Amino acid sequence: MANPLEQFAIERYAELSVGGADAAFTNASLFMLLILGITLFFFWLGSRNPQLVPGRWQAALEGMAGFAVDIVDENIGPKGRPWVPFIFSLFIFILVANVVGLFPYSFTVTSHIVVTFAFAALVFLICVLIGIAHHGLRFFTLFVPPNTPIALMPIIVPIELISFLARPLTLSVRLFANMTAGHILLKVFAGFVISLAAAGGIWAATSVVPFAMTVAFYGLELIVAVVQAYVFALLTAIYLNDSINLH
Amino acid sequence: MPDPDKHNLDRLGERLQAAKAKQQPKPHQVASSALAQGTRHAFGIAATTLVGGGIGWMLDRWLQTGPWLFLLFLLLGIAAGFWDLLKAVDREAKALQQRRNEQDNEG
Amino acid sequence: MEAEAAKYIGAGLAAIGTGIAAIAVGTLFALFLQGALRNPSAADSQRPNLIFGFAVTEALGIFAFLVALLLLFAV
């Protein structure tokens, strides 16, 4: 049976090095450029002839932008308006990356912990830096919930600190684990179809069962792809809210 | 004319049903929303445990204090996860209470 | 027995804990749905308790899974 893990292999297409660090052009880079191209293409379609009463592409684009504005408004409030492009870009990139990975023979960019950790580290750094920029050193009062008796502080502050530091970990591992597990399962089911069909005779007839399961699982994976992008954007907005509006 | 009136009444009935459903979600909706939030926090407890354990282990290596700091931070990590869960459940209970007060005030 | 073999056996034994957590979560939701069948309008009021119970149970199951992973990859 084919190896379900070789879909995650990185192939280098061109060697490049940036200041001594390895920045080779890989299939991951190629697919990221493809995601960028697809996104720009759909945005171009949606904003070609802007009308007051939107056509279909424009309405779809406006719907998605409204979705991102809703996430920011509900979670950060009025101070969050400058962050709408950031949340929107994160949401769209991860959504398109997850959905592009569902096509046969393609590569899921977000199924590598490096990529998801890069996003999560970016969000975490931005939260800390923006918190310090907005509130100075009072940002660290985030770890002291209001109405805490002084006696409990030596326990509560390390606890809050640890749960704050766990955020980039959960953010990155959630997306990575969902994508990787889903894709491995898809390949395993698909491999069953081929193995059963190749066995010939009565086994070939039973290969319809894993085929039906693969189809059903694809539907689930599509839902997971969209939900994981939404959860990433929503949690980013929540963490930004913690930094901007301290409590 | 009965027809437009009946049509409008039917539409009103549908909107009332939708509003009531939003106020009182069906059991399977409650279960699946609890499943989603609960999974996030279950995963959060495991993550804070790992982070606490990692911090404790690195501090141990740096300060050469045997496994004690590791165990301490592991326990702190577990507690942090449960703390997050308690805060979220508190928030949820308060939102529920607020919704119930609004319903009582309306009805 | 070599350490490698012992690690694999230990990981397999630790993963049994995930199955026990599955039974616990199933029991929890079964009791919730049973109560919801008798009193559907009160189902929403128990949402915080359901979240809390499920998260704690699932966390313990994830701990068992973590022990298995640690044995396989980190020891």
What is the secondary structure of B22-77 as a DSSP string? HHS--HHHHHHHHHHHHHHHHHHHHHHHHHHHHHHHHHHHHHT-TTHHHHHHHHHH
Size of interface B-C (CB pairs under 8 A): 87
B47 vs A159, A160, A169: nearest CB: A169
Q: What are phi and psi of A17, to 5 degrees?
A: -140, 130
Give me the sign of the Cα torsion angle A135, A168, A117, B54.
Answer: positive
Which tokens sit at A25?
Answer: 């052009």
**Does residue B49 contact residue C63 with C-beta atoms inside 8 Å?**
yes
Judged by CB atoms closer than 8 Å, whether chains meet at B27 and C47 is answered as no
Domain membership of residue B87 (yes or no) is yes
Judged by CB atoms closer than 8 Å, whether chains meet at B27 and C54 is answered as no
Domain membership of residue B20 (yes or no) is no
State residue A247's pLDDT score.
61
Judged by CB atoms closer than 8 Å, whether chains meet at C62 and B31 is answered as no
Q: Output b/e per residue, C36-53; b: 16+ Cβ within 10 A.
A: beeeeeebbbbbbebbbb
Judged by CB atoms closer than 8 Å, whether chains meet at C45 and B85 is answered as no
Cα separation of A195 and C26, whole Å? Answer: 34
Higher pLDDT, B3 or A156: A156
Q: What is the pLDDT of residues B5-30, one digit of tens each?
A: 888 888 888 888 877 766 677 777 77
State residue B107's pLDDT score.
62
**Does residue A61 contact residue A42 with C-beta atoms inside 8 Å?**
yes
Instruction: Note whether A158 contacts B: Cβ–Cβ < 8 A.
Output: yes
Region of A22 (left: φ > 0; alpha: ψ -120 to 50; beta: rest) is beta
- Spatial neighbors of A1 by CB under 8 A, at least 6 apart, are A191, A192, A194, A195
Task: Please tell me the total count of domains within chain B.
Answer: 1
Judged by CB atoms closer than 8 Å, whether chains meet at A163 and B76 is answered as no
State residue B33's pLDDT score.
79
A163 vs B43, B48, B73: nearest CB: B48
What is the secondary structure of A159-182 as a DSSP string? HHHHHHHHHHHHHHHHHHHHHHHH
Domain membership of residue B93 (yes or no) is yes
Domain membership of residue B14 (yes or no) is no
B38 vs C41, C45, C55: nearest CB: C55
Domains of chain C, first to last: 3-73 (1.20.20.10)
State residue A40's pLDDT score.
94
Chains that touch C (3 or more CB pairs under 8 A): B
Res C75 pLDDT > 90: no
In angstroms, the Cα distances linking B47 to B40, B93, C8, C25, C63 are 10, 24, 24, 20, 10
Which tokens sit at A50?
Answer: 């802007």
Domain membership of residue B10 (yes or no) is no
| Min Cα–Cα distance to chain A from B70, Å | 13
State residue B52's pLDDT score.
92
Among all residues of chain A, which has the CA nearest to that of B78? A159
Closest C-alpha among C11, C9, C7, C14 to residue C60: C14
Judged by CB atoms closer than 8 Å, whether chains meet at C55 and B42 is answered as yes
Judged by CB atoms closer than 8 Å, whether chains meet at C59 and B30 is answered as no
| Min Cα–Cα distance to chain B from A151, Å | 17
Among all residues of chain B, which has the CA nearest to that of C28? B31
Q: Amino acid identity of A98?
A: N
Domain membership of residue B94 (yes or no) is yes
Domain membership of residue B54 (yes or no) is yes
Q: pLDDT in tens for each of the 247 residues of chain A?
A: 667 788 888 888 888 888 778 888 888 999 999 999 999 999 988 888 887 787 888 888 888 899 999 999 988 888 888 999 999 999 999 999 999 999 988 899 999 999 999 999 999 999 999 988 888 888 888 888 777 788 888 888 888 889 899 999 999 999 999 999 999 999 999 888 888 888 878 888 888 888 999 999 999 999 999 989 999 999 999 999 988 887 6
End-to-end CA distance of chain B: 32
Q: What's the pLDDT band for B104 if we cut at 50, 70, 90?
A: confident
State residue A122's pLDDT score.
95
Size of interface A-B (CB pairs under 8 A): 42
Q: What is the pLDDT of residues B48-63, one digit of tens each?
A: 999 999 899 888 888 8
Res B2 pLDDT > 70: no
Judged by CB atoms closer than 8 Å, whether chains meet at B80 and A162 is answered as yes
Q: What are phi and psi of A237, to 5 degrees?
A: -65, -40
Q: What is the pLDDT of residues A180-237, one digit of tens each?
A: 999 999 999 988 888 888 887 888 888 888 899 999 999 999 999 998 999 999 999 9
Which of A159, A167, A224, A234 should one mutate to test binding to chain B, selecting the residue with the greatest count of B CBs within 10 A? A159
Query: Which residues of chain B from 70 to 89 reach within 8 Å of chain A, CB to CB?
Result: 73, 76-77, 79-81, 83-84
Q: Amino acid identity of A15?
A: E
Interface of B with C (CB under 8 A): 24-28, 30-31, 33-35, 37-39, 41-43, 45-46, 49-50, 81-82, 85-86, 88-90, 92-93, 96, 100
Residue range of the domain that includes B84: 42-107
Instruction: Note whether A223 contacts B: Cβ–Cβ < 8 A.
Output: no
Q: What is the pLDDT of residues C33-70, one digit of tens each?
A: 999 999 888 888 888 899 999 999 999 999 999 899 88
Domain membership of residue B68 (yes or no) is yes
Cα separation of B85 and B101, whole Å? Answer: 24
Judged by CB atoms closer than 8 Å, whether chains meet at B30 and C33 is answered as no
**Does residue C58 contact residue C21 with C-beta atoms inside 8 Å?**
yes
Task: Give SS3 for A13.
Answer: strand
The DSSP bridge pattern shows strands A25-26 and A12-14 to be antiparallel
